Structure 1
């Protein structure tokens, strides 16, 4: 029987002015991804986060039946034509507007200038080629060695081997020890002075950050960043593991990770004027799931409790992963520790230098997944916690990433009790990000809008009733860039209480397990955007962190990128 022909439909997206052709019945969320548009989608298309709002402006679409666990739009939003992209199927030619609150753009990305302990000793070096005396022997009968090199015999193609034997002209060989077996990358005249280049990459769940480095000197030549293309398939790690449960899904996520890194490589090449093919080494720090997905390893076993995870660094070739650098370049992924403590936490440790200190240190890296490390030069222990994406602005009614227009800080006038705020880029407020949420929680307590039990107080003039329950109005709709009130609801407060309890509880568990107290910790390292932008005193007052009375607090910055850089330029750090 002849299969019925599937109708092709055109879907327009504004204000990007993009159009994509898809088969009838395609999910609108998939069509948006096909159009190359970055849109919020924390739940990965399950309909539970309510962040992928779009507005139907022309045509019609098929709405999926609402489930009890799904996120429902308000009646006002439905009247204005709002839909959740992941709950809509395209049934005819249509046009949608993606409102400003649903777009992902202009992220505030933390890039830290990095440093290392010790000298420059990269995995890729040049060595002088020495050949045995001819003594009348043909070239093919003579031996070749690399002056100063004492490692395993490097692999090389027949073409390169014959090139080595072809002449007595002084030459240099570029050898890479980044892969399990050393590899001969190239042969050049002995007097050639072209530098060797490498890149260090922080492969984050949300963002990918990289820096281009001169391997001869350790100098950082350029930095670049982009959003991780895997966001389209879910922002949570477990969502991505589920997506990768099929071979096709795993291939898709592997390509997305590689393409994201290639976007950064392209930026670095453009800014520096250096050809990507001249990049001969790559070091990547990412969490355990990101490492698996980038390297095409099935991550499904990571869902199992107490499953053992290899602590050996993953070594691949750039060609195998599809990276736009020298095809025989090695790719070194910082090793994982456990299911939810990965190479990014190892990078934090290297950056903090915990393994060199006699004093007890605590590293706290809070994101969707919280990673906490306790230790000194003699020992180290770690724990992870599901702190949730609240501190990244997700899961909160008016929450958003640290992007342009996000409220990043909130404070109270001590004389008047008035609450003020600032936004990233001094733009009109679009929502509130993690650092602003923490500040706001403290401000609400100070002004009486939030009581000791974490309940909104109707006696405060800014606490009003809504169909979804009580809410605190921080910015009225007339003053926002979206036309919607920026609010904190009682449900948001409950979620924040769970998140802060997870983080503070994990720290307490780790200290208790190793019979330490807050008085024993001498150095507190706060990694990532949490440490760079959050008011630490407010984090303590809000209950995210305990108070460490004698500890020196250090903002670690992007410890993951710093760790990748350290292993790029130093074999000792590897």
Structure 2
């Protein structure tokens, strides 16, 4: 039997007992401490920094990358993924490694218009009559006002109806394709049926509690997806799921995160979670598989045959704590990296209803782009999303308290002026701030047209090569310089080229010019917080001179809401998924050309015929 060791995590005052030899990052996960770990514990991202205050440990360097300087090592800094517990320890989680107070876009309020209420779950009064001529035959049961197929009724519910001496109402669901009575409730306790619309993101979760009679959104909540400590990107999650008990741990983490979000909205509304009779989930393909506990390993294959039918399961079988007989409905996927969240984006933006050619862009942890109109729809996915959320950047962080969200750089001096979420000293820079920063750096001559740092007076030789100082150490919350390094710029340029090149592939395949696009729908935090002028100026997306730009908020949650309150919208979502073409950039011959051309600022002349300032 392995010896147990006690690990104390400051400043969280969290204590966990683990076996000797346990990896410290695994210990943090066991203690439910959320810490940055983009690479999932491979030693590549350098984000899971901790300070060893005392105790016995063993260190195993996973890569040759030097994420911790010699001076920092003297102060006890290490990467949690490279530390193995050898005895009792005290560990501090420094401010730059903590995940706290994230800025998560929710975006539903009051009553949302989805074209009419037609929920899959309804309540019907029960009419129960005794047969005086056959007293032993039991009582007849009928659902008043219900005109559909005869519903299935479980033995337990049937007995409850037969034995009841009071008036009852039946809760009937048609989610699984056939009507089914899942509960019988006394009249005096019956209220409108309540359901959950949920956006299950790779990083974050947004949840809304909805009255299924009126469509009213009663309460909303957000939280982090607890899977993030297993890796930030979907590819990392797939790899973890394929190892040992990984799939079970990821499924459990998803269910726990969902239950936390549900408990918050239920508390706000003054109801118990078992009163919630339906949940509709919108998520990407990998998250869909992980929630269902379905092996996602085949999604690594370029020719993966992905079902375009919605996943439907009993919520209880997934560990989701709502009504024990309630169903979980997941919007349908399209391909291995275009999922129900992209279908939700099309559904809620109305792209599929208009004769105009529109472009839908959703840059979360993964990036999905959809082009089309009422006659045709095509999509791509690109791994550019993390860079625009601050991931993969040395001083990058997600949009939360302490993140730099806006930057203005003086063209003459190159000095940066920053706005911080929540005020105070900054901890790092998030996606919107990063886009502002690199655009200002280019305009001030700190970057050349290839994204290379120039010999500007504010560019210095840093620990890992040339770097531009955005905030000096004495002005930051971490006591470290917030910088943009050449390695950061290489990563950012790669992401910019992937996104712009992907859009270029869609335009080229369908013989479209930038002047043909009439609407651009920008979803999520990308649409809500980024400066669209800077996004085009730097060449992240092309300049569409005739297009109207629409920030459309959390379309994934809006799509889940539509599916929750309308069976018609569910059928519409299936139709969208069925006709949507998917172009896999990893095997597409045009992508290399478009990607290479987009490695310059701003990019191909046909996509950027004029600078916006002209």
TM-score computed with the length of structure 2 as normaliser: 0.89
The Cα offsets for residues 412-447 of structure 1, whole Å up to 9 and x where unpaired, read as: 356876431101011211100000000001110121
Q: 1:402 aligns with which of 399, 409, 421?
A: 399
Which whole-Å CA distance do the structure 2 matches of 1:351 and 1:71 have between them?
45
Give the match for residue 490 of structure 2.
Answer: 494
Cα distance, 1:310–1:151 mapped onto 2, change above 3 Å? farther
Give the match for residue 249 of structure 1.
Answer: 246
Gaps of 5+ in 1: none
Give the match for residue 304 of structure 1.
Answer: 301
Alignment of 1:392-431 (within 5 A): 392-413=389-410, 418-431=415-428
Q: Which moved more, 1:512-521 or 1:219-228?
A: 512-521
The Cα offsets for residues 462-495 of structure 1, whole Å up to 9 and x where unpaired, read as: 1111231110001000000000000000111111
Deviation at 1:286, TM superposition (A): 0.6
On the 8 A contact 1:66/1:72 being kept in 2, the answer is no
Give the match for residue 6 of structure 1.
Answer: 2
Deviation at 1:189, TM superposition (A): 4.5
1:336 paired with 2:339, answer: no
Give the match for residue 559 of structure 1.
Answer: 555
Give the match for residue 580 of structure 2.
Answer: none
Q: 1:438 aligns with which of 422, 435, 440?
A: 435
The Cα offsets for residues 272-311 of structure 1, whole Å up to 9 and x where unpaired, read as: 1111111111000010000100011111000011211000
Give the match for residue 107 of structure 2.
Answer: 112
Give the match for residue 64 of structure 1.
Answer: 60
Which whole-Å CA distance do the structure 1 matches of 2:353 and 2:149 have between them?
30
On the 8 A contact 1:524/1:552 being kept in 2, the answer is yes
On the 8 A contact 2:412/2:444 being kept in 1, the answer is no
Which whole-Å CA distance do the structure 2 matches of 1:82 and 1:347 have between them?
43
Task: Tell me the secondary structure at the aligned position of residue 471 of structure 1.
Answer: strand
The Cα offsets for residues 35-62 of structure 1, whole Å up to 9 and x where unpaired, read as: 2211100000100000001111112311
Which whole-Å CA distance do the structure 1 matches of 2:375 and 2:203 have between them?
34
Gaps of 5+ in 2: 571-614
Q: 2:475 aligns with which of 479, 496, 499?
A: 479
The Cα offsets for residues 186-240 of structure 1, whole Å up to 9 and x where unpaired, read as: 2234576512110100001111110111111111111111111111211111111
Give the match for residue 179 of structure 2.
Answer: 182
1:40 paired with 2:36, answer: yes
Cα distance, 1:28–1:271 mapped onto 2, change above 3 Å? same
Give the match for residue 533 of structure 1.
Answer: 529
Q: Which moved more, 1:226-235 or 1:44-53?
A: 226-235
Which whole-Å CA distance do the structure 2 matches of 1:532 and 1:255 have between them?
31
TM-score computed with the length of structure 1 as normaliser: 0.95
The Cα offsets for residues 152-211 of structure 1, whole Å up to 9 and x where unpaired, read as: 432222232234345796543110112343321222345765121101000011111101
Which whole-Å CA distance do the structure 1 matches of 2:385 and 2:414 have between them?
31
Alignment of 1:186-335 (within 5 A): 186-189=183-186, 194-246=191-243, 248-335=245-332
Q: Which moved more, 1:161-170 or 1:44-53?
A: 161-170
Task: Tell me the secondary structure at the aligned position of residue 442 of structure 1.
Answer: helix
- How many residues align? The count is 568
Cα distance, 1:151–1:445 mapped onto 2, change above 3 Å? same
Q: Which moved more, 1:331-340 or 1:125-134?
A: 125-134
Q: 1:517 aligns with which of 513, 517, 527?
A: 513
1:87 paired with 2:82, answer: yes
Which whole-Å CA distance do the structure 2 matches of 1:541 and 1:496 have between them?
15
Which whole-Å CA distance do the structure 1 matches of 2:24 and 2:172 have between them?
49
Q: 2:134 aligns with which of 137, 156, 179?
A: 137
Task: Tell me the secondary structure at the aligned position of residue 184 of structure 1.
Answer: strand
Cα distance, 1:417–1:462 mapped onto 2, change above 3 Å? closer
Which whole-Å CA distance do the structure 2 matches of 1:573 and 1:466 have between them?
54
